[in-house]
A and B are shown apart, each in its own frame.
Chain A
Amino acid sequence: MRFFFRRLRHACFLLFGVSILAFLFTTLAPGNYFDEMRLNPQIAPETMAALRAQYQLDRPLPVRYVSWMNSVLHGQMGFSFAYNSPVAPILFVRARNTLLLTITATLIAWGIALPLGVWSAERFGRLPDRLLSWATAALLVIPDLALALGLLVLTVRTGWFPTGSMTSLDFGSLSLGGKFRDLALHMTLPVAALVLSGLPLLIRHVRAAVAEVLDAPFMLAARGHGIPRRTLLYRYALRVAANPLISLFGFSIGALLSGSLLVEVVMSWPGLGPLLLESILSRDLYVVIDGVLFSTMFLVSGNLIADILLYWADPRIRTESAAR
């Protein structure tokens, strides 16, 4: 328990630091949201000054930081100039869409990688294993951008799946089953892109971890006891090999919000990525800060979850931290 609290405290400090860093970066930048208005002769300079004053853009940095912090604590997370509303509701909807995409993709990727990696480790160095190695290597050298764009080009030309956005135009009028089907169809393409770009590394890690364990003398002993193959692989080998995989899993959780940025933009999925890009281009600074902070929170909590899981799964770590 003490271990847990120490990690939690650490994470909180980290988030605090990131918020200051993000604030510094964004406010040191030249220009603000209202600068575009200077080009419009119908808006008087006084109006612009008044707008800046209204949104506190003319106040010194610490004052703005404190007032933003205050608004975060009240659950509003600052104010978006472009959407003319508090950031929190906008952000939550987008984050929900992103999570829908990435959680599905992560589950599928791990669901494929675990059995495939174990299967490959069992045949280590033989033909099927080598073929799989080559396949993952081939996937690994295709950059994410090329992969996502390639899938998009393919789909647009063949028309197998709907592209762009999350739902069809008539989504509201569909029945529940129809809604589900529509959403699933729209998700297929971005999920495929995410799974394919994440899969090779996962498979390689699972394979490496399990292959390492399969050589151990206790595995030979277990086999000698006549424990069935499946039990041997999944109950014994995988559990011993879990340590690096848990760290990797924590990383998968951490990347849930930030990992799909490119895919979302390419496939125009209404998630956090496009929102961030839009607000960067229009200098909607609180949205940017909150977006960065939100995804950092995920990254940090992913690491935290991994730490806790490791603590739970690996007795060596428990004794180590108890001794400290």
Chain B
Amino acid sequence: MTMRRPLAKWLVILGVLHAIVVCAGFFAPYDPIEQDRKNPYLPPMPLHLLDAQGHLHLRPFAYALKLREGTFDQYEQDTSQSVPMKFFRSGAGYRLLGFLPSRIHLFGSEDARICLLGTDAYGRDQFSRLLYGGQISLLAGLLGAGCTLSIGLCVGAAAGYFGGWRDDALMRVAELFLALPWLYLLFALRAFLPLSVSPLKAFFLIVAVIGAVGWARPARLVRGVVLSAKERDFVRAARGFGATDSYLLRRHILPETSSVLLTQAAILIPQYVLAEMTLSFLGLGVPEPAPSWGNLLSNLQQYSVLVSYWWMYLPALAMVPFFLGYLGLASSLQERLEPYKIERRSPGSLA
């Protein structure tokens, strides 16, 4: 089978985006929890190619920041002091992909730090935190979706295949879960687990909670597919030849559900990343000092930050390309895998 173009396009886009986040150590110039207490709330430092005299430089540079006269938190660019960007510089140590130790960063600088998105209250580089935060948020989304889909697959297959009272019971419970407002359920479940835990524990807690909440919809979809697959001729034939239940399920029925599961994954992952963001934003998720896309934004809950340090908002926009990628992927998967289900003009698809 050949890939149709839109699907491949979205896969490439998503692949690149994820690669950047997975290799955060390389692309981020600094350690995400390294503090610089002398420089809190630095504004973003734009990169320049033209200097104040109008000369063109081939190496991008930023201007160092200095405090404006008579203020304590207003910075301005010091055009007399340029900080050239150095590529493939060695800096803080990190482990690429979790195991390859390395010190090489895509860029860095000699004297002053280049903070593309500014710094937070402790002078930590927001750009580095954004990249590292993506690892946590995206992984939470992926694992959470994995959890949900496996629960949904098991429940849906059991309900659809065995039928009878088991089907009735499971589907009643699924209905119950569908009736609960999703975010409320997420909160209620999270609420009654320990509140203050270490980042790692909190991460797995979040994944479990997010993963456990949304199983009902995929379960219903899987059940539908299994119900129709069960009655297909080749399945009946296999049964007639004496195939066991487990063989039938493994060999003939569950493969039929793969297209539903793939599409659901593309829909669920961004939704779950957003769920992690929401929980962390509200202080119910991954705690400091570990960065996540949610807790990067949580200091925006303070009025003073909102008023004076608007660039703390910039990480919120990091989600947009990922959302775009996943939305595109979901709609082209839907078109490709379930063409019979789609009306000609699907409202969920892009353009």
Is B16 an interface residue when CB atoms closer than 8 A count as contact?
no
CA–CA, A204 to B346, complex, Å?
8
Pair A277/B306 contact, Cβ less than 8 Å: no
B292: min CB distance to chain A, Å = 13
Q: With A26-B192, A133-B351, A280-B187 in contact, is A146–B319 under 8 Å at CB?
A: yes
Is B19 an interface residue when CB atoms closer than 8 A count as contact?
no
Pair A296/B180 contact, Cβ less than 8 Å: yes
Partner of B323, one of A142, A201, A257: A142
Which residues of B lie under 8 Å from residue A157 when comparing CB positions? 307, 310
Which residues of A lie under 8 Å from residue B327 when comparing CB positions? 137, 140-141
Which residues of A lie under 8 Å from residue B282 when comparing CB positions? 265, 277
Q: Mark interface residues in B277-314 (1 if CB within 8 Å of A CB, else 0).
A: 11001111000000000000100110100110010010
Pair B313/A212 contact, Cβ less than 8 Å: no
Q: With A14-B176, A30-B194 in contact, is A142–B310 under 8 Å at CB?
A: no
Is A143 an interface residue when CB atoms closer than 8 A count as contact?
yes
Partner of B176, one of A21, A140, A149: A21
Size bracket, chain B contacts: 35 or more
CA–CA, A276 to B188, complex, Å?
9
CA–CA, A314 to B150, complex, Å?
38
Q: With A21-B176, A288-B191 in contact, is A296–B181 under 8 Å at CB?
A: yes
A-contacting residues, B164-188, CB 8 Å = 172, 175-176, 179-181, 183-185, 187-188
Question: Which of B184, B195, B278, B297 has the most C-beta atoms of chain A within 10 angstroms of its own C-beta?
Answer: B184
Nearest A residue to B195, CB-CB:
A281
Nearest A residue to B179, CB-CB:
A14
Is A134 an interface residue when CB atoms closer than 8 A count as contact?
yes
- Enumerate 30 A-B pairs (CB-CB under 8 Å) in ascending A order: A14-B176, A17-B172, A18-B176, A22-B188, A25-B189, A25-B192, A26-B188, A29-B193, A140-B323, A141-B323, A143-B277, A143-B320, A144-B274, A145-B277, A145-B316, A153-B310, A156-B306, A212-B343, A259-B181, A266-B301, A276-B187, A280-B187, A280-B188, A280-B191, A281-B191, A281-B283, A292-B181, A292-B184, A295-B184, A296-B180
Q: Give the interface of B toward A (CB within 8 A).
A: 172, 175-176, 179-181, 183-185, 187-195, 274, 277-278, 281-284, 297, 300-301, 303, 306-307, 310, 313, 316-317, 319-320, 323-324, 327, 343-348, 350-351
Q: Give the interface of A toward B (CB within 8 A).
A: 14, 17-18, 21-22, 25-26, 28-31, 124, 130, 133-134, 137, 140-146, 149-150, 152-153, 156-157, 164, 201, 204-205, 207-208, 211-212, 255, 257-259, 261-262, 265-266, 276-277, 280-281, 283, 288, 291-292, 295-296, 299-300
Task: Apart from A29-B193, A280-B187, list 9 A-B contacts with CB within 8 A.
Answer: A17-B176, A26-B188, A29-B192, A137-B350, A143-B319, A146-B316, A153-B306, A208-B346, A281-B191
